[in-house]
Amino acid sequence: MAVEIVYRSSRDPERLFMDKAEADRHDKMLELAERLGEVLLKAVPSLTEVQAEEAGIYMAKHRDLFAKAFKSSPDVLAALHEEEPA
C-alpha cells in the first residue's frame, strides 16, 4: 500500500494539491481575489457579490498581465481577448 502526501488549500478546502508550493500559490491567489473583490464592490456598488468575486478571481489569475498593464503596457491585456472562455 502506498502513502501519498496531499496538501489542502486553507481558503479552498475541497481542493487538494500534490505540492505544498502549489497549494500556497493557490491560497495567495484566492487572498488577492478576495481583496480585489472587496475593492470592486466599494468602487462599483451596483456589482453583486458574485460578480465582484468572479472579477476578483479573474484578475488574480491574470495578475502578471494586469501588473504589466498597470505599470506601462496596457496593450498586454489584448492577450486576454484571445483566451478561450472558461
Is 61:30 a contact under the CB 8 Å cutoff? no
For the chain, give every domain's residue range. Answer: 7-82
Q: Residue 63 has what pLDDT?
A: 94
CATH classification number, 7-82, choose in 1.10.10.710, 3.30.1360.120, 1.10.260.40, 1.10.3720.10: 1.10.10.710
For 35-63, the pLDDT digits (tens) are 999 999 999 999 999 999 999 999 999 99
Task: Count each helix (H run) and each strand (E run) in the chain, helices first.
Answer: 4, 2
pLDDT mean across residues, the chain: 90
Cα–Cα distance measured from residue 81 to residue 79, given in angstroms and rounded to the nearest whole number:
5
- 16, β-bridge pairs: 8
* 3-state DSSP helix/strand/coil % of the chain, to nearest 5: 65, 5, 30
Kind and range of the H or E element at 47?
Answer: none
List pLDDT tens digits, range 18-32.
999 999 999 999 999
